[in-house]
Amino acid sequence: MAVADAAYLAARTALQVHGAIGYTLEHDLGLWLTKTRALQTAWGTQSYHRGRVLDSLRGEGAGAAGTAR
């Protein structure tokens, strides 16, 4: 459930390690930072996924959690 947050944290940490080169087109880090930030919300929030897991454990399917992210 915390994969998106972990990916973004890893990209931010890599940016701190590599410095300004991470923002240039010469290094892929800027690309990964942009992708992880965009996908962090596209994948759904942690509370959304927790609700889906809870519903699944209760046997409710996608009922109460709905499709809202």
Report pLDDT digits (tens) over 23-45.
Answer: 777 788 888 888 888 887 787 77
To the nearest 5 percent, what fractions of the chain are helix, strand and coil? 70, 0, 30
Residue ranges covered by each domain of the chain: 3-44
Per-residue pLDDT, 42: 81
Q: What element of type H or E holds 6?
A: helix 3-18
Task: Retrieve residue 24's tokens.
Answer: 């240039």
Asked if residue 59 has pLDDT above 60, the reply is yes
